[in-house]
Structure 1
Amino acid sequence: MKKKVCMLVHTHSFLDSRIFKKEAKTLQKNGYDVTMIVPRVKGNLFDIDKAPFNDRFLQPSFMHEDIKIVTYKIESFKPSPIEMQSHIDHGNHTKFENPLTQLGLEEKADIYHAHELGSLYAGIGIKRKMKELHNTEVKLIYDSHDLIPDPLDNKTIPQKRKTAMLKLLNTMIKEIDQLITVSHSIKSWYLSKNPLLPVEIIYNSPPLAKPFEPKDYKNNKLTVCYEGHIADNKKGSRDKIFDITNICSKQTDFNFKIIGGVLHGHSLTVPDNLKKHVELTGWVDYHSISKHMENVDIGWIDFDDLSQSLNRSYALPNKFFSYLNNGIPVVVNKCHEMEEFIRTHKCGLVINKPKATAQDYARAFLYLNKNRAKLTQMSVNARKVVENLYSWEHMEKRLLNVYESLINGNSPFIL
C-alpha cells in the first residue's frame, strides 16, 4: 500500500518550485500518494508571481500532474503569533479549529510536510488530534525555506511581533520529527537552538539541465542575467540594473537579461536610452529557465541591506543554482553562504563589500569580460559542482532518505 504524504501550505503558490515542482513531484514519482492543501486568496489560487488564476483551478479539489490539490480560503486562517502560541501552550488538540488542520486530518496521511509557521502550527494540531483521537502516530516535517521571522529584520516586522514569532518557532520545533532547510548556516542556526534536532539540508537546486553545451566565451558580446523577483530594497534593484547597463554598454557590447521581474500588478519600465541593452522575458515556465539562459555569460545576485536580514546572508537561493546548473559563473556581494560556496568551488566572483554599488558590479563584469579564460574556467567549475554534488538528482536522494527514515526508522548509515 502506498504511503501517504500531505503537504501543508499557508502562504506559497501551489506551483512553488521547491514545494510542487521538486519535492511533491519527486515523492509522487517514487511511489508516494501525495496531497497538497493550499490557500486561495480572494477565491483564487495564484501563480508564483502572485497573479491569480481567474479561469483555471477553480474546483475546491482537483488532480494536477497526478498530485491531489485541496484548497481552502486563506481569509479563514490568519492566526496571530500570540493566538497560535496560546493554542500550542494549551497542551492538547482542542484549540486547532482551522481549515488547514481540518482538511489535513481528512487526508489521514502518514507524513505531514509543513512549509511556513502557519502550516507548521496546523501540522501540530493534526499530529495531536491523530494521537489523542485516533491513537495514531503521524510524522511531521518542517521545511524551513528561510528564517521566519528574520532575527535581524527591524523594518518589516514590529519588535513585539518578531519576539512572539521567535518564541512560537522555538516552541513548535520541539514537536517536529524532522527539519529540512536550504543552507548550512540556517542548519547551524537551528542547531544552536536544539543541538539534537534532526536537520537535513536540501538545496534549492534544479534538475540537471540537459542537453548542456559548455560555454566557450568566444562571442564578443557580454550578457549578464538576473533571474527572479525584482524587489528593489532587498534584491535585484532595477536602479542598479539600469546603472550597470549604462556603465557597461559604454565600454563593450553589453546586454542585461531579466528572467522574471516584478510581481503581478507592478510594472518595470526600461529607460528609452537602455531599451536596446535590456531584455525582459517576463516570468517563464520553470522547465524553460535553462533555455532562456543559453546565451547568458554571467549571473548576478545582489542582496542589499544585509544588516537588516540574516536570511540574505545565509541564503543559497534558487537563482544561484539556476546559474550554476547552466555553467554560468555568479557575481554577488559579500553574502556569507554564497561567498563560502564561491570561494570553495571557484565558480564566480564575490564583491568584497556587503553593500555593493552598481559601479562595483560593473567593474566586476568588465574585469571578467577582459579575462575570458578565467570566466571559462569558472563556468566549467560551476557546471561540474552541480553535476557532481548539487543537482536535484542528488537532492531527491536526500529527500527520499528523510522519508524512508521517518517511515521505517532511522537508516543504519548516512551516505
Structure 2
Amino acid sequence: MADKKKVVHITTVHHPLDPRIFYKECRSLQKGGFDVTLIAPESDDLNGNEEVKVSPIKKHKGRLKGMVFGTIEAYRKAKAMKADVYHFHDPELIPVAWLLKRKNNTVIYDIHEDYETGIVQRDYLTLPARKLLAKIYKLVEKLMARQMELCLAEKYYKEKYPEGVCILNYPLLNESLLNNRTEKSGDAREILYTGNVTTDRGALIHAAIPKADQDVSVYLYGRCPGSLASQMEDEAGEDKDRLHIEGVDRYLPKEEIDDAYLSREWLAGIALFPPTDHYMKKELTKFFEYMTAGIPVLCSDFPKWKEFIDSYQCGLYVDPYNKKEIAEALDYLKEHPDEARQMGEKGKEAVLNHLNWGKEEEKLLDWYRSIT
C-alpha cells in the first residue's frame, strides 16, 4: 500500500495490551499495510518497543473522573492525528467518535459486549438507575452512531445490529499451546479459569468447587478485586488452600496467562457462570483458549453453550448451581482420561481449522480496504 492510510484505535477503559485491540486488530492492520496508532491508558507494561505505536493517556483515580478527563484527552489526541479511520472500543466514547466524524474519514464502533444488558447487570448503581442508564445509552447510541460503521465481536450481536460487520473474537493461533501435548496421565487434579474474575463470571461458584470436590484445586488467572478475592476465600472456607487467585488487584499480561496454560496438566477449563442475559448467548473467548490448549471445557448448561459444546464435542456442561452435578462432571474427567483427551483434541482441531483469528484477520483487512 503506497499511500498508507492512517488508523487510530481509541480506548480509555481497556488495557493498552488488550488481546482483541492490540494483539489482534492493531497488529493485523499494521501488518496489513496501515499506519496504526493506539490511544490507550498509560501502563507500566509498555516498554516503548511495541510494533504498534501507543499514545498513552493519563490514568485517573475514580471511574467518573477517568471517564471525563480521559475522554477529553483522548479526543484531543485523536483529533490532532487527522486519521482516515477512527476505531473506538468503549461506549463512553460515542460522543467523541461523533465529534471526530467527517465526510472524508470513517469512524468504527467496535462493540465488544452487549452493553445494554451489561449496564443493567452492573452492581455499582441501584437497579432503577441501571435500567434508566441502559435506556439513555441506547438512545444516545441510536442518535450518534448513525454515520458510523459497526464492528461486532459476537455473532449474536447481529440480532441487535443487523448492519454490523462480524469480526469475531477468535484466538490467535498460539504455536506453543497447539503443540502442547494433551495426553492425560489420569492424575490431573487442577482446574483452570482465565479472564477477569467477577461475580457475574462465576467467581463465587468457582470458589466453592474445592469444598464440593476435596480432590481438586482451582487456579484463576485474571484481574480480581481484592475485596472479591476475600469473599472467594470465605466461600472456599477451610479448603481455601486449594483456591489460587493470580491477579489480585493487578492486570495479568497475555504472556503470563499463556504460561499458565503450559504450567501443568489441567483437568478442565471452567466457565460456570450464573445465568444472565449478558452472557447466556456469548461464545466466550476463554472457550477458544481452553480448546487451543487442548483442555476440556466445563461450563454452564445455557442452551447456546450446550449447542457449542455438543457441536465440537469439546467438554461438558452442568447446572452452575448444582454442586453435585459439578462434582460428578469433574469425577467423570478424572476417571476417564482417554475421553478427556479426546475432548481436548477435538477442541484443538476446531480452533485450528475454523475458530481462529487468522480467518477474522482476513475479514478485517478486506473490510478496512473496502471502506478506505
TM class by smaller structure: 0.7 to 0.9
- In the TM superposition, what are the counterparts of 1:107-256 in structure 2 within 5 Å? 107-127=81-101, 130-131=102-103, 137-150=104-117, 153=120, 156=123, 157-177=129-149, 179-191=150-162, 197-210=163-176, 212-232=179-199, 234-238=200-204, 240-249=205-214, 253-256=215-218
Q: CA deviation at 1:76?
A: 6.7
User: Alignment partner for residue 283 of structure 2, among 316, 335, 340?
Assistant: 316
Secondary structure class of the residue paired with 1:13: coil
Q: Which residue of 2 aligns with 1:296?
A: 266
Secondary structure class of the residue paired with 1:141: strand
Secondary structure class of the residue paired with 2:117: coil
Separation in 2, partners of 1:78, 1:256: 35
Distance 1:237 1:261, change over 3 A: same
Q: Does 1:69 align with 2:55?
A: yes
Separation in 1, partners of 2:144, 2:49: 31
Contact 2:57 2:73 in 1 (8 A): no
Q: CA deviation at 1:226?
A: 1.3
5+ residue gaps, structure 1: 40-44, 47-52, 80-96, 132-136, 192-196, 408-415
TM-score by length of 2: 0.84
Q: CA deviation at 1:392?
A: 2.2
Separation in 1, partners of 2:181, 2:20: 26
Contact 2:40 2:54 in 1 (8 A): no
Separation in 2, partners of 1:16, 1:9: 10
Contact 1:229 1:263 in 2 (8 A): no
Between Structure 1 and Structure 2, the one with more helix by share is 2
Q: CA deviation at 1:382?
A: 0.6
Q: Which residue of 2 aligns with 1:31?
A: 33
Separation in 1, partners of 2:83, 2:98: 13
Contact 1:37 1:72 in 2 (8 A): no
Q: CA deviation at 1:265?
A: 7.2
In the TM superposition, what whole-angstrom CA distance separates every residue of 1:63-115 from its partner, at most 9, and x where no partner exists? Answer: 74441314256667746xxxxxxxxxxxxxxxxx9443332121111111011
Secondary structure class of the residue paired with 1:230: coil
Distance 1:245 1:169, change over 3 A: same
Contact 2:268 2:297 in 1 (8 A): yes
User: Alignment partner for residue 21 of structure 1, among 16, 20, 23?
Assistant: 23
User: Alignment partner for residue 277 of structure 1, among 231, 234, 242?
Assistant: 242
Answer with 1 or 2: which has the greater Rg: 1
Once structures 1 and 2 are overlaid, which stretch shifts more, 282-291 or 68-77? Answer: 68-77
Separation in 2, partners of 1:293, 1:396: 24
Q: Which residue of 1 aligns with 2:317?
A: 350
Count of equivalent residues: 351
Contact 1:110 1:138 in 2 (8 A): yes
Separation in 2, partners of 1:124, 1:141: 10
Separation in 1, partners of 2:121, 2:202: 21
In the TM superposition, what whole-angstrom CA distance separates every residue of 1:185-237 from its partner, at most 9, and x where no partner exists? Answer: 1222222xxxxx142232242333426123111232322111122212x1132
Q: CA deviation at 1:329?
A: 1.5
Separation in 1, partners of 2:122, 2:100: 34
Distance 1:207 1:288, change over 3 A: farther
Separation in 2, partners of 1:266, 1:393: 36
Secondary structure class of the residue paired with 1:221: coil
Separation in 1, partners of 2:246, 2:76: 41
Distance 1:155 1:146, change over 3 A: closer
Distance 1:126 1:392, change over 3 A: same
Letter in 2 for 1:189: K
Q: Which residue of 1 aligns with 2:365?
A: 400
Q: Does 1:262 align with 2:248?
A: no
Letter in 1 for 2:13: T
Separation in 2, partners of 1:182, 1:388: 19
Contact 2:12 2:67 in 1 (8 A): no
Q: Which residue of 1 aligns with 2:327?
A: 362
**Percent of aligned pairs with the same amino acid:** 23
Once structures 1 and 2 are overlaid, which stretch shifts more, 359-368 or 294-303? Answer: 359-368
Separation in 2, partners of 1:236, 1:151: 15
Q: Which residue of 1 aligns with 2:301?
A: 334
Contact 1:183 1:314 in 2 (8 A): no
Q: Which residue of 2 aligns with 1:49?
A: none
Secondary structure class of the residue paired with 1:405: helix
TM-score by length of 1: 0.76
Separation in 1, partners of 2:322, 2:329: 11
